[in-house]
């Protein structure tokens, strides 16, 4: 028994939209993690700081804790790197889908 036309069309659209949805997810994830200016203005409670705003606390004018800041920077790069490595195939497909001819 053949599938209805609408269902086949929806399936094709879903299949072709996966790479660009992966790109949107990755770029949104990176933007959310590295958002500093808005978070530093709006967040007043230390327990609700984002990772980037918390890292700013290591760099105060009285005492620069460069070792702690560098360690926090490396630790903050781990989730972004893991997400990129897990979704690299879809990310590359989504970024090159518009530039491929044929």
Residue 33 included in any domain: yes
- 13 in a domain, yes or no? no
Residue 87 in domain = yes
Residue 76 forms part of a structural domain? yes
> CA-CA distance, 40 to 46, in Å (whole number)?
10
What is the token pair recorded at 64? 């620069």
On whether residue 51 sits in a domain, the answer given is yes
**How many CB atoms neighbour CB 35 within 10 A?**
14
pLDDT at 99: 66
Nearest Cα neighbor of 36 from 57, 59, 58, 53 is 53
Q: Is the alpha carbon torsion for 92, 94, 99, 101 positive or negative?
A: positive
Number of domains in the chain: 1
How far is it, in rounded angstroms, from Cα 20 to Cα 96? 10
> Binning pLDDT at 50, 70 and 90, where does residue 2 land?
low
Describe the chain by its helix, strand, coil percentages, rounded to 5: 75, 5, 25
Domain-located, residue 5: no
| Beta partners for residue 60, in sequence order | 63
Residues 41-98: tens digit of each pLDDT: 888 888 888 878 888 888 887 888 888 889 988 988 898 899 889 888 887 777 777 6
For 31, how many CA atoms within 13 A lie in the half-sphere containing its CB?
Answer: 7
pLDDT for position 48: 86
Please write the tens of the pLDDT for every residue from 11-40.
Answer: 777 778 888 888 888 888 888 777 787 888
* Full domain range(s) for residue 58: 19-94
In a domain, 50, yes or no: yes
């Amino acid at each position: 028994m053949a599938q209805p036309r609408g269902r086949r069309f929806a399936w094709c659209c879903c299949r072709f939209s996966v790479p660009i949805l992966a790109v949107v997810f990755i770029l949104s994830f990176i933007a959310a993690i590295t958002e500093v200016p808005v978070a530093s203005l709006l967040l007043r409670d230390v327990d609700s700081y984002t990772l980037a705003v918390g890292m700013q606390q290591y760099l105060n004018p009285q005492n620069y804790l460069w070792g702690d800041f560098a360690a926090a920077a490396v630790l903050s790069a781990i989730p972004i790197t893991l997400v990129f490595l897990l979704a690299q195939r879809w990310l590359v497909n989504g970024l090159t889908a518009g530039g491929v001819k044929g």
